[in-house]
Structure 1
Amino acid sequence: MDRRDFLRSAGTTAASGYLLAATAGVAAASDRPQWNRRWRSYLSNPDSHPLIPNVSHAGYRRGELPLPRLGVRVSVTAFGAVGDGVTDCTAAFTEAVERVGATGGGTVYVPPGTYLLTGIVWVHHSRVAIRGAGRHRTRLFFDRSLTECYRPGSRNEWSWSGGLVWFIPRELRGALEESGFTGNEGWLANRDLSTVTADVPRGRRRIPVSDPSAFQTGRHVLLLADNTTDNSLLAHLAGDVPGTATYAWATAAKRLRPELTDWPLAVNFARYRFPVQVHRVEKDAVVLAQPLKIDLRAGWSPRFATLGPAITESGIEDLTIEMRQVPQTAHHLDPGFNGPHFQAAMNCWVRDVDLWHADNGFGSTTTKGVTMTGVRVGGRARHHTFICRVQTHDLLVDHFEIPAATTPLAPGAAHHGINTEGFSSGNVWSNGVMEGTFDSHRALPFESVRTAITVTNNGITGGAGDAGPRWGARFCHWNVDVLGGRAHGVRLEEHAPYSAAVGVRGTTGPTDHPKDFTGELSSVVDALDEAVLPANLYEAQLRHRLRGTTQERGDA
C-alpha cells in the first residue's frame, strides 16, 4: 500500500487533505525510476555496508512474523465500563487489564462507544492487547493529563516520556517512582552471563564467549559495551570519522559522560545496551539472530547479561484515543496528555490507532522490536509526534500520518516530528505523510532509515547543547519528497557521518544545522530530485533477507 492508498484506507480527514493533494503532484513528476547503484552496492554487503544500515530486522519479531491477534478474554463492560462518554471507566479498564494479564494474557475488548478515562491505563503484563471495534467506533477519551492524574513532572519529563496508556514492567515503574523519575529508565537487574573473548567487527553474528553454557537458544539477552573515558565508543557510534578526534567530547557531550555531569539521566548512557535473541549456541560462541550494529572491542568490556523485567507481546489496536483539548504550553512544559508509551518493552505493537489533541504522540523508551502501523497523530499543535529515545532499537513506524495541526503553535512552543535520540539504532520510519521534520535530539542516534515519506518540513530538531552529536553514523533517507524546499533535518550529507540521501526530492542544499564534525564524513547524496528503486528501502531489505535466509530466522 503506497502513501496515498494508506490515507484513503485510514479515512483521511479534512486536516490532512492538503497533504494528499500536494503529494499527487510530486508523485506524477517522477516517472520511470531506476534501480539505484547504492542498492546494488548494499546487496553485495548488507550486514556491514558503510553507508546503508541493514534495518530489515526492525519491528515485531524482526519482521519475520505478522502481528498477532490475541484471542478476546474479557470485555471492559464486564467490569463496569460504559461507553457513554460520561461514566468514569478508569477502574474498569485497570481491573480488566490486570485480570487478563494475571491469568496468562489475551485481549481486553472495548466495544463501540466513548469511554471516559481519568487516569493512566497501566499495562504491566506481557501478552495483553487492548482492542477496540475500529478506529471510527471505539474512542478512549482522556480527561486528565499525567500531571493531573499521576504526578507533576519534576523535570518536565512529560515533555518526552510517559503515556496515558503505559506499557511498562511493574518493577521499573516502582523504581522510577522511588527515584523521582531519575536514573535508569530501561532494563533492570541485568546479571552478567558471559564475556566476549575477542574483538568482533560490525555485521557479524557469531560472537566468541567465555561461557557458552550460560546461553539458551531462543532466549533474549542484553549485549553490553562500556562507554569509556577515552570516548572511543562515542567516536565509534559516529563512524570513527577523523573529526571525532577533535570533537569536544568533555564539554559538548558532557551528558553522555556520567563522571562529568550531574544530569540525573546520564546513567542511561554509561554503556551501550542492545537486546538480541540467541539463534544458536556453539562450543565456544553464540550466534545471534541478527548482525551486530557496532564493533565489539576489548577496551569496552563487551559482555552479555540477562535482560531483566520486560513487557513482551502486548499492544493496542483498532480504536481512537482523544485528549481533552487544552491550550498548548510553551516548550518543555507539557502537562502530559501523551499517547501510548512503551518502556522496557519488546516485540509489542500499535495497530490502526488514531490519536488526537496530544501533547506528545506515540512513545518508546528503551525498547526493542516495537511496530507502530496504521497510526495517525492529529488535532491541535503538538510537541513530539513520535518519540524514540534512550537506546530504543529496531522500532518500525509504518503507514503513518501527521496531518497539519488544527491550531497554531503556542508562543515559545515547538513541533519536532519523528524523533530519535540517545544511542538508538536500527529504527525505521516508512510510508508516511507528515508535517514536522526528521528530528534528532542528539546523544548519538545511529543506523536509521526514513523511506517513502512525504514531509511538509516545518518542524525543528531539538536537544541540549551538551548532549553530544546530533547524528551518528549511517542515517539513510531514501525516496523522500520535501514540500516547501526546506532541507532542515533531511539533507544530512555534511552533518551525519557515513550517511546517504538517495532520491530526496524538493530541497536545494544540505540542512542548516551547525556541523558537529570537521573533515571528511564519507557521506553521499545520489539521485537528487529523482525517484529511485527500490521505492521503499526497508521493505526491499526485508524481502531480500527473508527470501535468502528463511531457514535462518532464529525464532524461538
Structure 2
Amino acid sequence: MIRPAITIFCSLVVNITMAQEIPKILSQKTNYLPDFSYAGYHFGESQIPKSQGKIINAVDFGVKANDELDDSKALLKALKAANEVEGNVILQLPAGKIILSEILYIERSNFVLRGSGSTENGTEIYCPRPMMYLKDAPVLAELREYLTTFDKRQREPENNIDLPFSQYAWSGGFIWTQVLGERVKSYLDKYEPETIALAKVHSGKMGEHTITVSDVKNLKAGDVVELQLFNKDGENGEIIKDLYQGANVKPGSHHWKFPKLPIVRQQVEITKISGSKITLKTPLTISIKPSYQAQLIEWKHLNEVGIENLRFTFPDIPRVAHHVEPGNNAIFLTRVFNSWVRDVTITNADSGILAEETANTTIQDITTDGSHLAHYTVTLGGVHNILVKNLKIYNAAVHPLSFNTFATKNVYQNCEIFTDPLLDQHSGANHQNLFDNITVHLKAGKNNSYLLFGGGGADYWKPSHGPFSTFWNLNVQVENPDLSKPVLLYGMKDGASARIIGVHGNTKFEIKYDVDPYIEFLNTEIEKIPSLYDYQLQKRLR
C-alpha cells in the first residue's frame, strides 16, 4: 500500500535560520545525497572541444541550401565520404535551409556533424514529412513486436480514439547515432542474447567505487563496460527491496517478469584492478549482493561524437493523440559515450532529442519552440550520467523534462520551462537523478495549486522513481500569485524518498509529494550553492 498523501508546510520542514548558510543535507550523514558530479562529457572534467579534423563540406557533394529541393541523397553521399576518412572528421553543413527526408545514421567515432549556427542565419534542417513515411528501421523491429505483443494502444473513448502506439513515440530521429547491428533497447526476453560475462560481480556498496569480482583476466584499466544487476527471484526479489530502500511503494510486474533483462545497469569505466577488486570511475547507485547475479559485460559504443550549430524545423501538423506521434523527431542518441550535442534549436518536433543506451554525454544550449504540442523536448531514458545544460523550452510538451525508464545519475541543470511546466519521472526503475537550478513559469489553477511533479509511465513499471531523486534550488515563478496564501505544488503520488531542497520563487509554496520526501530550505533560495552539480564537481576536483 502507498501511504496517504503528505502535505508539508513551511513549519514542518527543517528550520532555516539567518546563520545557516547551506542546507544541512550536505553535511549530515543521516540523509543520503548522491554525488551527481560525474554526469556529462568526460565525467564533467573536460569542456566540450572545438573539434579539429578533416572537414568534409556537404556542398561538394551536391547539398544546395535554399533551393527548395530535397537534399537527402546529397547528404547521404557526403556522409559516406566522411565515414571513409580515418581519424577525426567533421561533416560541415552550409548556412541556409536544407531539406532532409531520410535518416542520417552516424555509425562511427570521432565524428562531428556541424552546421553554421542555430540562428536564422545559420543552418536549418527542414524535415517535410515524419518518419512514419520512411522504411521501417530494422533496429526497431523488436520494439514493433513488443508494441504488438502487449497490444500497446492509446485508448481515449471520450475522444473516439483506439489507436496502436507508434514506434516513434519514444524512439528514432532524423539524426540517429547507432552501433550497427546492436539493439537500441531490450524489450523481449526471447531476443536477449546469451552474453559472455567479462567478470561476475559479487559485492559492492552504494555510493562507493570498488566492486569484488570473480575473474579479471578479460579486463584492464581504461575499459568502458556495462555493469548489470538482475532480479532472478520473482516478485519478492531482494533487489526490488534494495532498489527502493524499503519505501512503502508497490513495484509493478515488469520488475520481475523479465528475469533475463537487467533491472539496474550502469556504463562504467575501470580505473584500477587489484586482485579481485576493481575500482570504477563512478559510484554505484545501489549495493550489490550475490543474489543479484551481477556481471560486467562488453558495451559497444561510439566515442567523441558531436552534433552542433544547427536548427531543425518541422511542419506544424495536427496532433492526433498521445503515443501515436508520426515521428517528427530531430535527434536520437544511442550508444554514445563522451559525446555531445550543443547549440541546437528545434521547432515543432514531436520529440526534440531522445536518448537511450548512452552515457557521459553533454547536451547543452538547446532551445525547443513552436506551436506544435510535443511529446518530449529532451528526454533521458535508459541512460547514465547525461548532463542536459541550458535547455530553454518555449513550446508546450506532454513531458517537458523527463527522466524515463532505467535513467540513473542524470542531471538537468540551468534549464527553464516557459509553458505548462512539468518535472516528470517516468517510472521504470529510474533513480538518483537531479533537477538542478531549474526555473519554471506557471499559472496557479484551482485552489491556488499546480501539478508540477509528474509521475508518468505505465503501472507495470511503477513506482514513478526510486530513492534519492533530487530537486535542488527550484525557482518557481507564478504568473498570478495570490500573496495571501501559499501555492500548493503537487503531483507525485509514489516517488520514494526524494530530496527537495530550495524550492522558492515570487510567492510562498507548500509541497505535496509522496512517499517520505526530505524537504529543506522551503521558500528559501540556496544562494551560496545555486547548483548542486557544480558544487559537487568542484569539490571532487579540488
Which category describes the TM-score, using the shorter chain as reference length? 0.7 to 0.9
- Aligned residue for 1:415? 398
Of 260, 267, 280, the match for 2:272: 280
1:320-331 aligned within 5 A: 320-331=311-322
Give the Å deviation of 1:283: 2.2
- Aligned residue for 2:541? 546
Give the Å deviation of 1:102: 3.7
1:73-92 aligned within 5 A: 73-92=55-74
Does residue 1:236 correspond to 2:227, yes or no?
A: no
1:92-171 aligned within 5 A: 92-104=74-86, 105-136=88-119, 137-151=122-136, 155-171=165-181
1:428–1:449 CA contact under 8 A, matched in 2: yes
Does residue 1:63 correspond to 2:44, yes or no?
A: yes
Which whole-Å CA distance do the structure 2 matches of 1:68 and 1:467 have between them? 38
1:437–1:461 CA contact under 8 A, matched in 2: no
Which whole-Å CA distance do the structure 2 matches of 1:114 and 1:480 have between them? 38
Give the Å deviation of 1:140: 0.7
SS at match of 1:171: coil
- Aligned residue for 1:462? 456
2:34–2:207 CA contact under 8 A, matched in 1: no
- Aligned residue for 1:384? 376
Of 470, 479, 487, the match for 1:476: 470
SS at match of 1:172: coil
- Aligned residue for 1:508? 509
The alignment yields a C-alpha RMSD, in angstroms, of: 2.7
Q: Would the alpha carbon gap of residues 187 and 318 (structure 1) be closer, same or farther in structure 2, given more than 3 Å must change?
A: farther
Q: Which amino acid aligns with 1:510?
A: I
Of 372, 381, 384, the match for 2:363: 372
Q: Which amino acid aligns with 1:38?
A: K
- Aligned residue for 2:206? 202
1:120–1:150 CA contact under 8 A, matched in 2: no
Which whole-Å CA distance do the structure 2 matches of 1:144 and 1:110 have between them? 21
Q: Which amino acid aligns with 2:65?
A: G
Which whole-Å CA distance do the structure 2 matches of 1:275 and 1:295 have between them? 16
Which whole-Å CA distance do the structure 1 matches of 2:118 and 2:228 have between them? 40
Give the Å deviation of 1:528: 0.9
Which whole-Å CA distance do the structure 2 matches of 1:123 and 1:298 have between them? 39
Which whole-Å CA distance do the structure 2 matches of 1:277 and 1:190 have between them? 19
Q: Would the alpha carbon gap of residues 524 and 399 (structure 1) be closer, same or farther in structure 2, given more than 3 Å must change?
A: same
Give the Å deviation of 1:85: 4.8
Please report the TM-score for the alignment, with normalisation by the length of structure 1. 0.79
1:258–1:270 CA contact under 8 A, matched in 2: no
Specify which structure has the higher proportion of strand. 2
Please report the TM-score for the alignment, with normalisation by the length of structure 2. 0.81
Which whole-Å CA distance do the structure 1 matches of 2:194 and 2:439 have between them? 42
Q: Which amino acid aligns with 1:160?
A: W
Q: Would the alpha carbon gap of residues 140 and 205 (structure 1) be closer, same or farther in structure 2, given more than 3 Å must change?
A: same
Q: Which amino acid aligns with 2:457?
A: G
Query: Is 101-110 or 455-464 further displaced after alignment?
Result: 455-464
Q: Which amino acid aligns with 1:100?
A: A
Give the Å deviation of 1:495: 4.3
1:501–1:526 CA contact under 8 A, matched in 2: yes
- Aligned residue for 1:36? 22
- Deviations along 1:201-242, whole A, 9 cap, x unmatched? 11221222222222111110111111231332222222233x
- Aligned residue for 2:338? 347
2:350–2:376 CA contact under 8 A, matched in 1: yes
Which whole-Å CA distance do the structure 2 matches of 1:440 and 1:430 have between them? 16
Q: Would the alpha carbon gap of residues 431 and 187 (structure 1) be closer, same or farther in structure 2, given more than 3 Å must change?
A: farther
Q: Which amino acid aligns with 2:231?
A: N
1:122–1:168 CA contact under 8 A, matched in 2: yes
Q: Would the alpha carbon gap of residues 50 and 327 (structure 1) be closer, same or farther in structure 2, given more than 3 Å must change?
A: same
1:102–1:125 CA contact under 8 A, matched in 2: no
Give the Å deviation of 1:187: 10
Q: Would the alpha carbon gap of residues 483 and 205 (structure 1) be closer, same or farther in structure 2, given more than 3 Å must change?
A: same
Give the Å deviation of 1:473: 0.6
Does residue 1:438 correspond to 2:423, yes or no?
A: yes
- Deviations along 1:501-534, whole A, 9 cap, x unmatched? 111025633347xx5x6xxx3x311111111130
- Aligned residue for 1:6? none
SS at match of 1:118: coil
Of 213, 218, 241, the match for 2:217: 213
- Deviations along 1:358-378, whole A, 9 cap, x unmatched? 011211112111210000111
Give the Å deviation of 1:323: 1.2
Q: Which amino acid aligns with 2:133?
A: E
Q: Which amino acid aligns with 1:302?
A: A
Specify which structure has the higher proportion of helix. 1
Give the Å deviation of 1:56: 0.2
Does residue 1:191 correspond to 2:196, yes or no?
A: yes
Which whole-Å CA distance do the structure 2 matches of 1:135 and 1:190 have between them? 42
- Aligned residue for 1:306? 298
Q: Which amino acid aligns with 1:81?
A: V
Give the Å deviation of 1:189: 7.7
- Aligned residue for 2:34? 53
Give the Å deviation of 1:498: 3.0
Which whole-Å CA distance do the structure 2 matches of 1:542 and 1:271 have between them? 28
1:363–1:386 CA contact under 8 A, matched in 2: yes
Which whole-Å CA distance do the structure 2 matches of 1:122 and 1:352 have between them? 20
Where do 5+ consecutive residues of structure 2 fail to align? 1-17, 138-143, 148-164, 443-450, 479-486
Give the Å deviation of 1:476: 1.1
Q: Which amino acid aligns with 1:505?
A: H
Q: Which amino acid aligns with 1:191?
A: I
Give the Å deviation of 1:286: 1.3
Q: Would the alpha carbon gap of residues 277 and 444 (structure 1) be closer, same or farther in structure 2, given more than 3 Å must change?
A: same
SS at match of 1:333: coil
Where do 5+ consecutive residues of structure 1 fail to align? 1-31, 260-265, 406-413, 548-556
Query: Is 477-486 or 326-335 further displaced after alignment?
Result: 477-486
1:503–1:529 CA contact under 8 A, matched in 2: yes
